[in-house]
Amino acid sequence: MLWIKAFHIVFVVSWFAGLFYLPRIFVNLAMVPADSKAERERLLLMAGKLYRFITPIGALAVGLGLWLWFGFGFAGGWLHAKTALVIGLVAYHFWCGRLLAGVAAGSSTKTHVWFRFFNEMPVLALTAICILAVVKPF
């Protein structure tokens, strides 16, 4: 079970790295001048590749987390809260995919300020998840 836990942590860290950086690319895309097509295309290419890269990593993180859950059991309110936050992160991940599609299609109306706030959601979730997993407050 320790191997599963170790790989779960590796994949969670990797997934979060992508969840932290992808919205940052959205910030940059929202700030690209209209006449800078090359910069926009380069950022879209980066965002698309990153999204495709972190999707299976996130799936592995969640899958290994489920393996740990079934191995150790589902007990305690802290684990219910953590699971809810993970479900929220999965939704956030797919929301990023929809935002990327909208930006790529030119139909996004979000500003760089909106994306800056959007970018903070995984930081808050990670903080809460770490506190729940380590402190187990309830």
Write out pLDDT tens, residues 20-56.
Answer: 999 999 999 999 998 999 999 999 999 999 999 999 9
pLDDT tens column, 57-108? 999 999 999 999 988 777 789 999 999 999 999 999 999 999 999 999 999 9
What predicted TM-score, i.e. pTM, was given to this entire model?
0.94
3-class DSSP assignment, residue 106: coil
Distance, in Å, from the CA atom of 91 to the CA atom of 88, rounded to the nearest integer, reads 5
Q: Alpha carbon of 7 to those of 4, 36, 56: distances in Å?
A: 5, 41, 14
Pick from 25, 22, 100, 30: nearest CA to 57: 22
Question: Are 22 and 51 within 8 A, CB to CB?
Answer: yes
